[in-house]
């Protein structure tokens, strides 16, 4: 099922690089439906980047007219301006209609996320030398943010929880949810009920690049935001990259991915289920690393067995074939090296002693340790956000947290004595740089 790679092969490095490129946010992985819509809308097979540039430019210039044009063509032919915002009555009805057990789960998960995010929230800092110098670092929440919630092939109330709650813990007051006008998106009862439960009042039935552009540039029906967060397909990721600078963004996310580390203590059914779970995102990348070839064989057998029992088996199977790999390493050190090179979004260390690996690994969006910590816990309930760096960007990027919704600034306050003490140092640098007005702005206060 999984493509087998061997680190001892002469061309392994080339194979690994090709595999890594598939996970890159610069890739061109789109669903078959998206490719067909592109051809239908533009009459030619233009690249995803060109699609996004056209849509965002039209929304920036034409506003609502362009948003409706693409909403009708891509999602709902009946869309008009009055239907862009989901009525509050519909959210109330959804909240009443969903199962009580679902709302109980939402409340429990909200508490888990809030507890974790509150614990890691940045605090103001004050530093003084006692000689007339006071330095402060202040943190203030953003005023207004937009959250992208996918809704093409499945509903994602978990995305609302994992993005909105960190923002609320940071102190953000205005949160706008953007989801496509589909039964899985802005019209999904569980998504709407989750928004209502969290006190979110703005839900807009717009998806794709036109939704990102609406949030970034603003239209009469959708006020512009300061930051856009949340996952989406390639078109959403490229649109976020395009509007960055007009607004802040969390990341440019590519296909979801997992790397599983296995050894002789791994339980093959567990490892196989983690690989399949990531693949059912479709596209989703699933890679297993081990220095035990028999274990890799057993995991592959389990994948084939479990696929016969799953509802989304065909989607998962397609992703496993296209984006999956089973990598045989010649040592544990090689396992660590390749894992760091891949820098996966999710790292599942499915062994008896996970610290043996985690203590050496630098690059991963989130690490799940041992036999009883499946990635699904992070996706749904644990507490850290499931919005994580993909495509190898975990080498330098971090997962979304409440701190992303804070902007920081410094405060500098000196007394006369403090200014007198530091003046010689300022004068030295100002003279070397030829910025004499800088020097004079200090000296004039002393003279």
pLDDT at 154 over 70: yes
The dihedral built from the CA positions of residue 77, 78, 82 and 88, taken in this order, carries a sign that is: negative
- The answer to whether 345 is a known catalytic residue is yes
Average pLDDT value over all residues in the chain: 92
Q: What is the pLDDT of residues 376-408, one digit of tens each?
A: 999 999 999 999 998 889 999 999 999 999 999
Asked whether the predicted pLDDT for residue 255 surpasses 90, the reply is: no
Of these residues, 58, 202, 345, 404, which one is catalytic? Answer: 345
Tally of CB atoms within 10 A around 341: 16
Statement: residue 232 has pLDDT above 90: no
DSSP 8-state secondary structure symbol assigned to residue 86: P
Distance CA 253, CA 411 (A): 35
Domains and CATH numbers, the chain: 3-27+255-382 (3.40.50.1980), 82-253 (3.40.50.1980), 416-446 (no CATH)
pLDDT of residue 438: 96
Q: What pLDDT is stored for residue 94 in this prediction?
A: 97
Q: What angle do CA 90, 154, 273 make, to 5 degrees?
A: 140
Q: What does the pLDDT read at residue 222?
A: 97
Residue 178, beta-bridge partner list: 148, 204
Percent of the chain with pLDDT over 90: 77
- Is residue 230 scored above 90 in pLDDT? yes
User: What average pLDDT does this structure show over 403-431?
Assistant: 96
Q: What is the mean pLDDT of residues 46-64?
A: 93
Q: Is the pLDDT of residue 32 over 90?
A: no
pLDDT tens digits, residue range 138-152? 999 999 999 999 987
pLDDT tens-place string over residues 308-341: 988 778 888 988 988 899 999 999 999 999 999 9
Instruction: Give the model's pLDDT for residue 26.
Output: 59
* Average pLDDT over every residue of 85-101: 97
Residue 325's pLDDT is: 93
Q: How far is it, in rounded angstroms, from Cα 192 to Cα 200? A: 9
269/272 Cα distance (integer angstroms): 5
Q: What is the mean pLDDT of residues 287-310?
A: 94
- Percent of the chain predicted with pLDDT > 70: 97
Per-residue confidence (pLDDT) for residue 28, from 0 to 100: 60
Catalytic pick among 346, 411, 413, 425: 346
> Catalytic annotation on 404?
no
pLDDT at residue 401, rounded to an integer: 96
């Amino acid at each position: 099922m999984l493509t087998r790679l061997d680190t001892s092969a002469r061309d392994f490095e080339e194979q690994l690089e090709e595999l890594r490129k598939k996970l890159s946010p610069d890739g061109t992985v789109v669903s078959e439906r998206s490719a067909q819509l592109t051809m239908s809308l533009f009459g030619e097979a233009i690249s995803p980047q060109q699609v996004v540039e056209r849509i965002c430019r039209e929304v920036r210039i034409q506003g609502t007219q362009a948003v409706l044009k693409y909403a009708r063509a891509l999602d709902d032919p009946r869309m008009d301006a009055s239907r862009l915002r989901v009525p509050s009555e519909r959210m109330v009805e959804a909240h009443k209609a969903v199962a009580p057990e679902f709302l109980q789960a939402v409340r429990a998960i909200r508490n888990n996320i809030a507890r974790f995010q509150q614990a890691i929230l940045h605090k103001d800092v004050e530093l003084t030398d006692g000689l007339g110098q006071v330095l402060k670092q202040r943190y203030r929440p953003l005023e207004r943010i937009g959250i992208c919630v996918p809704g093409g092939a499945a509903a994602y109330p978990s995305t609302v929880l994992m993005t909105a709650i960190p923002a609320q813990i940071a102190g953000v007051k205005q949160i706008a949810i953007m989801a496509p006008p589909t039964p899985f998106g802005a019209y999904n009862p569980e998504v709407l009920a989750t928004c209502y439960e969290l006190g979110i009042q703005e839900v807009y039935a717009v998806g794709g690049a036109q939704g990102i552009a609406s949030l970034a540039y603003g239209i009469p029906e959708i006020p512009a935001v300061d930051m856009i967060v949340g996952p989406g397909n390639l078109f959403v990721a490229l649109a976020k990259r395009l509007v960055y600078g007009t607004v802040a963004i969390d990341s440019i996310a590519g296909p979801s991915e997992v790397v599983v580390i296995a050894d002789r203590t791994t339980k093959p059914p567990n490892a196989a289920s983690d690989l399949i779970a990531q693949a059912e995102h479709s596209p989703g990348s699933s890679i297993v690393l081990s220095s035990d070839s028999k274990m890799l064989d057993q995991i592959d057998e389990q994948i084939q067995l479990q696929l016969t029992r799953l509802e989304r088996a065909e989607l998962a199977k397609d992703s496993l074939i296209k984006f999956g790999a089973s990598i045989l390493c010649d040592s544990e050190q090689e396992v660590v090296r390749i894992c760091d090179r891949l820098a996966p979004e999710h790292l599942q260390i499915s062994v008896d002693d996970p610290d043996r690996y985690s203590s050496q690994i630098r690059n991963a969006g989130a690490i799940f340790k041992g036999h009883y910590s499946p990635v699904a816990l992070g996706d749904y309930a644990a507490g850290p956000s499931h919005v994580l760096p993909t495509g190898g960007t975990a080498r330098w990027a971090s997962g979304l947290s409440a701190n992303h919704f804070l902007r920081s600034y410094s405060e500098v306050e000196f007394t006369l004595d403090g200014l007198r003490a530091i003046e010689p140092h300022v004068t030295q640098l100002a003279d070397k740089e030829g910025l004499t007005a800088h020097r004079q702005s200090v000296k004039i206060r002393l003279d």
